[in-house]
Structure 1
Amino acid sequence: MIPVQGVDAQTIAVLGLGRSGTATAAALAAGGAQVVAWDDGNDTRAAAETQGLRILDLTRDANWQGVSALIVSPGIPHLYPRAHPVIAKAYQLGIPVDNDIGLFFRSYATEDWDGFDRAPRVIAVTGSNGKSTTTALIHHVLEECGRPSQMGGNIGTGVLSLQPAIDGEVAVLELSSYQTDLARALTPDVAVFTNLSPDHLDRHGGLGGYFAAKRRLFAEGGPDRAVIGVDEPEGQYLAGQLAMGPADDRVIRISAGQKLDGAAWSVFARKGFLSEYRKGRQAASIDLREMRGLPGAHNHQNACAAYAACRAVGLAPREIEAAFHSFAGLPHRSQTVAEIGGVRYVNDSKATNVDAAAKALQAFPRIRWIAGGLGKEGGIAALAPHLGGVVKAYLIGHSARDFALELGQTPYEVAETMDQAVARAAAEAEPGDTVLLAPAAASFDQYPNFEKRGEDFVRLVEALPGS
């Protein structure tokens, strides 16, 4: 646990008592704060009370007496589509609102660091797609290269549940737009922006607000190095704002499809090869094509981002390349589950939006595509240019029939459930095919989250004959 600094003897309120909220309350208490807490759920409040938390109804004005700050869990809206009533009350009372990410950045560094040979560092990764894989890949490379490392944030461990840093350690954080939008302190040593595509628009008041939330990671604290994906206009804009000019190597531009050799420092992937350029000259090259944990152009972009971040903290190209080979990938993200009779089964349940599904569809040549669930605004019409490799689609869930209307000439059948979809795809698949779960939809019509959906796919695949 990382005790929160600067809160001794203060009364701090915590809103939201899930995993993040309870960890935050514990870290505040470890820092000497008097913690009061509230959650809208009766059962959640009762559970927190049994753990010794002091529950106060923060919807009542009288309970704000003496409160000096409100710490909010990331899932609770603080502005759009409307602020939660408790947060709105804090605004009215002039009480600062923060989250666990802000507390982490103001508390991670301690006096113990003065005795370290090498100061700990923080790499923070944000973006629309690929940030979990990029974060995990950076962490994997650091560990394989013998650098002490912890991973947390929006993946794995909550930031305040990480352990205090040791000499030379690197903390690798995945940060969502919900987390970067509200944090009052954002000071990573290396900040990574993977890409941008429309998502969470209601929460941020539109695409501009969504991008602004991501941009805060770079604008608030000014990282020593910024790794920026420049395959979208927003990334190009961000890189242009941060760099003082073409010779400024504090910005490392990355791309998953275009050659970048005009900037001081760039990393890009083309035709399966990663290249690093510095001052117009190639510094390194890595063949990504046989790395099974990193299939497809979207994972090659993740590899570029991770490579650049690891180079920024002093790792050598050949060290990074060796570590890439042993990366197995993350569950539910282009995860190869099995190969049965020459057919590959891939779980990309995390592909919950059109952009992520498009990247998955471009990663394999002959696809039997399992898609559907609770469709998002706009449906899947934007996937039309990426359906050339789809032999047949097997549609499940609430939006199955809506998706069918948008498939054009692509063969399909409405399978309704995952059981039927896997059974039908497996029965019809031929050697060389990939049975790909890339739903392009949320899971909430049939599953509590994308993880459970992916686990169901894995279970069904593992039960197939020959598995």
Structure 2
Amino acid sequence: MTRERPKLGWGDLRGARVGVWGFGREGEANLRKLRSLGVEPVLVDDSPTAGEAGDEHVLATADGGLDALLRCEVVVKTPGISSYSPQADRLRQAGVVLAGGLGLWLQEADRERVVCVTGTKGKSTTSSILGHLLTGLGYRAMVGGNIGAAPYDPALAGDCDYWVIEVSSYQATDLASSPPVTAVTSLHPDHLPWHGGVEQYYRDKLSACSQPGAELTVANGDSELIRARAGLLAPRVEWVLETDEASATWLDPLGLPGRHNRRNALIARRVLRALGVEGADDDEALCAAAAG
């Protein structure tokens, strides 16, 4: 099942009737971003919690909230709300554009300086390793997305040299573009009720690697599930095995246990090379960056 992905950026929402659907941590970041653009959105949550939203007035989806969203032009939903839900279908049928904050940001970002990391397991570790190595090599790096911070949140304003974005399967369905370099760490059945089935989950998860702009995916070559779905990745794929660089010691200071984490670190290095990061080919420099 495929749905058109809106090619909108945050800047396109100026002057529009906008709803924020889902008012947790990411919903609050969405609200701050919209207000920085001069947009005052309607706020809706499936289960508003008293006190959680502070002074904000949040409608319950089932108690007037969905009707309010139907009057919007664009609804920015939180990733936890399924793109395949009956309410989401009803909004689309009414001509409302459904978008996600990460997808809106990526449309406007300098994608040459962004890497998206996805995978059922290992994406947080690999994203953290990437951010740690970039910082150790002297770069300003933000690690965000599913791992925590929203890269578009005005509360976190500041320029970076690189953005390392962990992408969940939920967030992947909101992306209408990919950066040139992406990574995928593993693939196993997960989140099936949200996606509606295992193959749809695989397609949604890997779609973060194959939207317009994608050039290279650095992928776990030990995963038969990923290898069997190489056609869902970027036009070029570099496979990384846990036995690669058998004599390498630069990753020892990371102190990560397990062969799977060794592969995650090797994926991180291959990503740095693909980004053209100075020091990525220097074992001594990487060892110093890995320390701490």
TM class by shorter chain equals: 0.7 to 0.9
* Matched residue, 2:38: 32
- Stretches of structure 2 that go unaligned for 5 or more consecutive residues are 1-8
Residue in structure 2 matching 1:296, options 234, 239, 258: 258
CA offset at residue 43 of structure 1? Answer: 2.2
* Matched residue, 1:165: 159
The residue identity in structure 1 corresponding to 2:164 is V
CA offset at residue 159 of structure 1? Answer: 2.9
Residue in structure 2 matching 1:11, options 6, 12, 17: 17
Query: TM-score scaled to structure 1, two decimals?
Result: 0.54
The residue identity in structure 1 corresponding to 2:288 is A
Structure 1 residues 243, 101: CA separation in 2 closer, same or farther (over 3 Å shift)? closer
The residue identity in structure 1 corresponding to 2:22 is G
Structure 1 residues 173, 206: CA separation in 2 closer, same or farther (over 3 Å shift)? same
Distance 2:108 2:25 in 1: 19
Distance 2:19 2:142 in 1: 28
- Residues 415-426 of structure 1 mapped to structure 2, 5 A cutoff: none
Distance 1:198 1:187 in 2: 23
Per-residue deviation, residues 361-398 of structure 1 (Å, max 9, x unmatched): xxxxxxxxxxxxxxxxxxxxxxxxxxxxxxxxxxxxxx
The residue identity in structure 2 corresponding to 1:17 is F
Distance 1:65 1:297 in 2: 49
Q: Flag the structure with higher strand content.
A: 1
* Matched residue, 1:98: 99
CA offset at residue 299 of structure 1? Answer: 0.6
**1:307 and 2:269 are equivalent in the alignment:** yes
Structure 1 residues 146, 55: CA separation in 2 closer, same or farther (over 3 Å shift)? same
* Matched residue, 1:256: 242
* Matched residue, 1:140: 132
Q: Is the 8 A contact 1:7 1:32 kept in 2?
A: no
CA offset at residue 88 of structure 1? Answer: 3.7
- Residues 78-227 of structure 1 mapped to structure 2, 5 A cutoff: 78-79=83-84, 83=85, 85=87, 87-109=88-110, 121-161=113-153, 162-166=156-160, 169-181=161-173, 183-227=174-218
CA offset at residue 224 of structure 1? Answer: 3.3
Identity of aligned residues (%): 30
- Stretches of structure 1 that go unaligned for 5 or more consecutive residues are 110-118, 245-249, 258-267, 274-284, 328-467
Distance 2:47 2:238 in 1: 45
Per-residue deviation, residues 140-164 of structure 1 (Å, max 9, x unmatched): 1111111121111111312322435
Larger radius of gyration: 1
Residue in structure 1 matching 2:47, options 38, 41, 45: 41
The residue identity in structure 2 corresponding to 1:253 is W
The residue identity in structure 2 corresponding to 1:317 is D
CA offset at residue 28 of structure 1? Answer: 1.6
What is the root-mean-square deviation in Å for CA atoms of aligned residues?
A: 2.6
CA offset at residue 186 of structure 1? Answer: 3.1
Q: Is the 8 A contact 1:106 1:185 kept in 2?
A: yes
Distance 1:48 1:140 in 2: 33
Structure 1 residues 163, 234: CA separation in 2 closer, same or farther (over 3 Å shift)? farther
SS in 2 for 1:317: coil
CA offset at residue 73 of structure 1? Answer: 0.9
Structure 1 residues 7, 125: CA separation in 2 closer, same or farther (over 3 Å shift)? same
Distance 2:165 2:83 in 1: 22
SS in 1 for 2:248: strand
Tell me the matched-pair count: 276
CA offset at residue 223 of structure 1? Answer: 2.1
SS in 1 for 2:11: coil
Structure 1 residues 256, 42: CA separation in 2 closer, same or farther (over 3 Å shift)? same
Query: TM-score scaled to structure 2, two decimals?
Result: 0.84
Distance 1:241 1:88 in 2: 25
Distance 2:220 2:126 in 1: 12
Structure 1 residues 201, 228: CA separation in 2 closer, same or farther (over 3 Å shift)? same
SS in 2 for 1:71: strand
Q: Is the 8 A contact 2:185 2:264 kept in 1?
A: yes
- Residues 356-395 of structure 1 mapped to structure 2, 5 A cutoff: none
CA offset at residue 227 of structure 1? Answer: 0.7
Per-residue deviation, residues 389-411 of structure 1 (Å, max 9, x unmatched): xxxxxxxxxxxxxxxxxxxxxxx
Larger RCO (alpha carbons 8 Å, 6+ apart):
2
